Amino acid sequence: MSPVPWRRPPILWIALFALTIALGIGSRRFAPHLPGLVATYAGDTLWATAAFLGLGLLLPGAATGRVASLAMLVSVLVEVSQLYHAPWIDSIRRTTLGALLLGHGFLWSDLVCYAVGVCLGVGVEVVVGVLPGREGRPASDQGNRTQDRRS
């Protein structure tokens, strides 16, 4: 019998996704009140974490490595797209939502932030996946714990 794929609990993932977005926006809004390193890099790091969590919502049964790879790919493609400047895309970037999703200018340091952010997302998934009694754990794993308690 093959192992049951781990499914991400949607309510928890929506909450984590929303929290990550709020923290990311907060890191920009309250940047003057934050330590320099946090103010400079937290937004981009959390952007990639949100990409990981968002893709995890869209692909609830996908392997963590696949979601991480896709999140990193999307993050890098968005960053590289910032090298392209045309009136139509720059007008999108001037909107609040466009700036949040597409950014403004290419920075090499953002690529490092994205890698850290995706790793942060993987870490969250690992922690959530090993918590006892999580509804998102494989059914076969939950059954084994139930049997262990009865013994």
Residue 151 has what pLDDT? 46
Residue 5 has what pLDDT? 56
Model pLDDT for residues 56-97, shown as the tens digit of each residue:
999 998 999 999 999 999 999 999 989 998 998 889 888 888
Instruction: Please state the three-class secondary structure of 58-115 as a single string.
Output: HCCCCCHHHHHHHHHHHHHHHHHHCCCCCHHHHHHHCCHHHHHHHCCCCCHHHHHHHH
- pLDDT higher than threshold 80 for residue 147: no
Residue 59 has what pLDDT? 93
- pLDDT higher than threshold 70 for residue 3: no
Could you state, in order of their start, the residue ranges of all structural domains in the chain? 10-146
